[in-house]
């Protein structure tokens, strides 16, 4: 891959996943609140913890897939793990979209839809590795 295309791909990832990453980092701040709601018997904490865990798995898949696309000879996660972790991340994003969409159309819908589109693009670019027969 040409250096200019690598820079464009990195810019796409930073633009599309940057806000989602910041929201994920802010989610770590409310982990004690989620555990407190679990102790009180409220199920809202389960959703938050599941979305945080899915987001972490999704970010791990994103990093592994980006490394594999940019440097094809490098060692990363297996194709099956990348697909599994990316699906966890997409489910976490869909959960965020559902929660953000309950209050009507807002800026969160745009922020959460960018990583979905970029994920599809990255899977397409890494399809030679992700969809290999010897998973």
101 domain residue, yes or no: yes
Residue 37 has pLDDT above 80, yes or no: yes
Query: What is the domain extent for residue 20?
Result: 3-128
Q: What is the DSSP code string of 22-46?
A: HHHHHHHHTHHHHHHHHHTT-SHHH
69-98 pLDDT tens trace: 999 999 999 999 999 999 999 999 888 888
134 domain residue, yes or no: no
Residue 107 has pLDDT above 80, yes or no: no
7 domain residue, yes or no: yes
Residue 103 has pLDDT above 70, yes or no: no
pTM of the model: 0.86
43 domain residue, yes or no: yes
pLDDT: which is higher, 98 or 122: 122
Query: Domain tally for the chain?
Result: 1
Residue 134 has pLDDT above 90, yes or no: no
CA distance linking residue 21 with residue 98, whole number of Å: 18
How much is the mean pLDDT over the chain?
89
47 domain residue, yes or no: yes
């Amino acid at each position: 891959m040409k250096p200019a295309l690598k820079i464009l791909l990195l810019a796409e990832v930073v633009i599309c996943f940057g806000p989602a990453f910041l929201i994920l980092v802010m989610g770590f701040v409310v982990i004690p609140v989620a555990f407190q709601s679990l102790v009180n018997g409220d199920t809202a904490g389960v959703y938050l913890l599941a979305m945080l865990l899915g987001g972490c798995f999704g970010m791990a898949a994103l990093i592994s897939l980006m490394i594999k696309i940019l440097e094809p000879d490098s060692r990363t996660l297996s194709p099956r793990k990348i697909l599994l972790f990316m699906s966890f991340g997409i489910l976490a994003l869909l959960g965020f979209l559902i929660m953000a969409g309950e209050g009507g159309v807002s800026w969160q819908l745009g922020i959460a839809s960018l990583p979905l589109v970029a994920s599809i693009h990255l899977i397409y670019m890494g399809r030679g590795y992700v969809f290999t027969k010897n998973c």
